[in-house]
Amino acid sequence: MSEAIVVGISDYKWGRSPDVLVTHALGSCVGICLYDKQTQIGGLAHIMLPDSSMFASQGINRMKFADTAIVDLVQKIRISGADPARLTAKIAGGAQMFAVQEGSAIGAIGERNVQSVKAALRNARIPIIAEDTGLNYGRTVFFDLVSGIMKVQSLNRIFKEL
């Protein structure tokens, strides 16, 4: 029987088959699923912001930022037995949930999150093999570590398997 492991906002978790990782409330946040098919070990990060460099490095929650959470999660799943050279990624979220005024300091945070996630994965040499990003609605992600399938659920939308 698989165990459901819940990943909160600005959080990441990892596990192995037959675990299922789940995260809710992906609006402008991005969920990043990392998976080693051979070992069936994977992780899921729920990042909230694109870049930690604007904040003091001491005392920050590294799980909140794309640039730090991905690096740290790769290390956690490597220690658990995954091979970073075999990792693949699937991503979801990065929606534009609210109208943005021109010149707003917040800007298109969902789009910026997606771009930062893609840059961090590129730097880690992890290919993105599936994504469901952008638009204007929230998502819940279920990541099955038996199959490596990321299931994306959204209100009043088709349930997607990627």
Q: What's the rounded Cα separation, in Å, for the pair 61 and 49?
A: 11
Helices (H) and strands (E) in the chain, counts: 2, 10
Identify the active-site residue in 20, 22, 26, 29: 29
H or E stretch covering 2: none
**And the tokens for 92?**
């979801």
Residue 33 catalytic?
A: no
Query: Which residues lie below 8 Å from residue 8, measured CB to CB, with a gap of 6+?
Result: 23, 46
Catalytic residues: 29
